[in-house]
Structure 1
């Protein structure tokens, strides 16, 4: 708080002095030791109190603070300030600065551009993010929660469904993946999860090719996970060829939108995609 007349600033609970919040400094008995009620404002303390002597030094330091602040009082209204950096406060609230100050900072992961990239579809990207952390409720993870659960892959009936199996070593998902990406990736084609993550991070490819690889990975993961869940709940299975056509249509629609939006940088993505069909 930037104190003016002190009428709206709590003496004990607002951060208005160089000593910080006085309640944090002196504890819950501070108001008793100093004879200042807990609901006092800075204005009330400055106008209705005389200096006292204390046997504990920190209380005398607060008395000196009160005397110094009394000389600074004005008729201007108090102003709330928002922290925007180290020892930097401003009257304007900015979400970005507040988020940066309150969140836990970690070192950037190497694969973040695989998940969050220009023109990604948020719901696809989110599911890919969950998958890359291996937090999807696949059979192996469900087995750890409940020993009686059936952990097999419902798409190909493999005894144990894992993330790496489902994307894309499963007989069903590998067929879908092959129909979509074998021509685009050619000699680099793989069904291994770790190899696909590394492939998506390569920088020696054209940006349109990189976009198609990343977007198709996310669209395929989303469609396979949806098909897997629907089968577990009794839905009629969709053939691998039909699911591949659905993903193909999703990629085409995304690329077609670039031309409608006048995004000429990505407009050629559709032609590149057609060339691999």
Structure 2
């Protein structure tokens, strides 16, 4: 397992390398050919290994091999690539009394932080209108994650699984009446209707005649702010989606089906009474 994780981390080196810069002091702590200290990226990435041969320096040479006092001293060579490297050396003054240091480029002070790493790696996108219903101060992470997947249509519903495995039935495992889609599971299935019909007073909107995407769009416009009533509505939404999805997984794994006479038992799980 350890070697597997190491291989995964090694594959991230091309992503992390541009975010790290070596500031040269005495040059003893930085590899000449492989570390990111030169303005033109690691030398080995921009130029071929022929440069190493032309320089006469070993492959594992440190930058200290071309530092003498406060001067850059390269071996004499007629290599055009080496001449180009010499002409683009770092502009800062060398101080051989100091050790090399590593600067984390995404932060102004050069100190590593997880927040700056996330900001550097993620692709910027405009905020979606429903983000406050998924990520807010009172959210329950495991439930919010399922809601996030449900809104984006990324849960492994049977219609999605059917695309990759045609031998898997695409119909809802709960009601067996319609193809299993996100819209059906969370808003049209008989199981979901029982849940939403008894949460409509808390949510402030009846579910009749409305689809799952329209309900999410409506909630994004109406459920704004941090008042207790808004928080309760958001929690109703995320918990409904989470437990509907959990019940679906439970039924599928046990190969059970729910009979209409069992709907009162379903509602009982939510401490709901059916008249």
Structure 2 length as normaliser, TM-score? 0.76
Greater shift in the superposed pair: 147-156 or 127-136:
147-156
Q: 1:21 is matched with which residue: 19, 42, 56?
A: 42
5+ residue gaps, structure 2, are 1-21
The match for 1:81 is 103
Aligned length: 243
Q: Tell whether the 8 Å contact from 2:26 to 2:67 is kept in structure 1 after alignment.
A: no
Superposed displacement of residue 189, structure 1: 4.1
Deviations 1:234-265 (A, max 9, x none): 2585943443343459xxxxxxxxxxxxxxxx
Alignment of 1:142-153 (within 5 A): 142-153=161-172
The match for 2:82 is 59
Q: Tell whether the 8 Å contact from 1:120 to 1:215 is kept in structure 2 after alignment.
A: yes
Greater shift in the superposed pair: 185-194 or 163-172:
185-194
Q: Tell whether the 8 Å contact from 1:220 to 1:247 is kept in structure 2 after alignment.
A: no
Superposed displacement of residue 178, structure 1: 0.5
Superposed displacement of residue 6, structure 1: 0.9
The match for 2:174 is 155
CA distance in 1, matches of 2:41, 2:250: 56
Deviations 1:146-185 (A, max 9, x none): 222222223222131211111111122101210122x234
SS at match of 2:197: helix
The match for 1:220 is 240
Q: Tell whether the 8 Å contact from 1:115 to 1:128 is kept in structure 2 after alignment.
A: yes
Q: 1:129 is matched with which residue: 139, 148, 159?
A: 148
CA distance in 1, matches of 2:158, 2:91: 67
CA distance in 1, matches of 2:188, 2:45: 57
| Structure 2 residue 217 is the aligned partner of structure 1 residue 198 | yes
The match for 1:116 is 135
Alignment of 1:1-277 (within 5 A): 1-47=22-68, 51-54=75-78, 56=80, 58-63=81-86, 72-84=94-106, 88=108, 90=110, 92-181=111-200, 183-186=201-204, 189-190=207-208, 191-203=210-222, 207-234=227-254, 237=258, 239-247=262-270
SS at match of 2:105: strand
SS at match of 1:84: coil
CA distance in 2, matches of 1:232, 1:122: 24
Superposed displacement of residue 186, structure 1: 4.7
5+ residue gaps, structure 1, are 250-277
CA distance in 1, matches of 2:155, 2:223: 31
Q: Structure 1 residues 66 and 219 mapped into 2: Cα distance closer, same or farther (>3 Å)?
A: closer
The match for 1:264 is none
Q: Tell whether the 8 Å contact from 1:153 to 1:161 is kept in structure 2 after alignment.
A: yes
Structure 1 length as normaliser, TM-score? 0.76
